[in-house]
Amino acid sequence: MHNYYTYLYNQAVFEVLKDSRGEGKAVVFARSATVGGQKFPVHWGGDCSATYESMAESLRGGLSLGLSGFGFWSHDISGFEKTATPDLYKRWTAFGLLSSHSRLHGNESYRVPWLFGEESTEVLRFFVQLKCRLMPYLFAAASEASRDGIPMMRAMMLEFPQDPAGAWLDRQYMLGSSLLVAPIFREDGKVSYYLPPGKWTSLLSGASVEGGAWRNETHGYKSLPIMVRPGSVVALGADQTRPDYDYADGVEFHVFESIEGLESAASIFSTEGREEAVLKVRREGGTAIISYQGSRKPWSVCLRNTRTVSSVENGTLEDSPQGALIRPARGVGRIVVRL
């Protein structure tokens, strides 16, 4: 009963919440778990300490939990025991906001950012706003975890089983199927991470690099490696002030390194878990064919790092610092872009 007790305990709390809140509304923020406990999400890693070593251990343990069938896991930003330095607080903030769920929590002190300096407030604001804009993408990954059991935060070997390097990577992860995240575990801001083969793009800077190799970089507090997998479509929402909003209204689909002959897609879900819209992109030579089905709310497409477009059928082209921004004509579900 020692292990099974955790299952019964979490189940009891989950069922009480479900009876009180309704079907699909129960959430248990649990620490203890055993086989089957993933049915009563979500979980976190327990009482970590305010050190870089404990931050790395949290990631390593969480990836193991994900490989054990748990779809959602997180950690106490900046550590639960003791109090982090401002440096560690800011680095852990980036990692924490790029997790399936995020909380500032500790034992010996308050974890509000202004107690760690004005810059900590700015860093937290930056990554909170980033997570809010990523919510259409993240909520689709959460829906996949609920439906298929694939964790939101994934060990590299889960997404790249044929790459022998992936079996040993425990300081980076895939957030959903498209975003590779490498948290920074050092005071000097240096980070080493591995990119599988292909042309990857930094979500933050827009720089593109070839994979199949290790990379060594140095990052400031408002930056870390968030690399987008080639052939991805990442949906960015229109609201950066809150996580729960109408994801389909004003969504901007960012298309990264379309692969010839491969159809890329992104789905948008409502906060009730219903699929509202699907966008698909297919590259054929110098033409990108974009199809959209579902909600009639406004949407647009950004072809990242594409600077030259010869013509757009059924849409309008606008300038954007990130690439070619295309808005569909009213009521149109298919756009043809000639590059």
Same-domain status, 60 and 134: yes
Residue 186's pLDDT band, with cuts at 50, 70 and 90, is: very high
Kindly report the average pLDDT of the chain as a whole number: 95
Q: What is the pLDDT of residues 27-63, one digit of tens each?
A: 999 988 999 999 999 999 889 999 999 999 999 999 9
| Mean pLDDT (whole number) for 165-188 | 97
pLDDT at residue 88 tops 90: yes
Residue 261's pLDDT band, with cuts at 50, 70 and 90, is: confident
Residue 337's pLDDT band, with cuts at 50, 70 and 90, is: very high
Amino acid 322: pLDDT:
94
Same-domain status, 242 and 334: yes
The residue from 132, 154, 176 where one domain ends is: 154
Share of the chain above pLDDT 70, in %: 100
Number of domains in the chain: 3
Buried b (16+ CB within 10 A) or exposed e, 188-201: eeebebbbbeebbb
Amino acid 112: pLDDT:
95
Amino acid 24: pLDDT:
87
Output the domain CATH number for residue 10: 3.20.20.80
Amino acid 262: pLDDT:
87
The residue from 131, 154, 177 where one domain ends is: 154
Whole-model pTM? 0.96
Range of the domain at 195: 156-228
Residue 330's pLDDT band, with cuts at 50, 70 and 90, is: confident
| Mean pLDDT (whole number) for 72-87 | 95
Residue 64's pLDDT band, with cuts at 50, 70 and 90, is: very high
Q: How many CA atoms lie within 13 A of 299 on its CB side?
A: 30
The sheet carrying 334-338 orders its strands as 263-269, 275-284, 287-294, 334-338, 311-313
| Mean pLDDT (whole number) for 310-316 | 95
pLDDT at residue 4 tops 90: yes
**CB 63, CB 30: distance < 8 Å:** no
Amino acid 258: pLDDT:
84
Same-domain status, 138 and 57: yes
| Mean pLDDT (whole number) for 249-273 | 93
pLDDT at residue 319 tops 90: no
Same-domain status, 150 and 161: no
Same-domain status, 129 and 9: yes
Same-domain status, 277 and 164: no
Q: What is the DSSP string of 225-246?
A: -EEEPTTEEEEE-S-SS-SSS-
Q: What is the pLDDT of residues 201-238, one digit of tens each?
A: 999 999 999 999 999 999 999 999 999 999 999 999 99
Output the domain CATH number for residue 184: 2.60.40.1180
Same-domain status, 30 and 131: yes
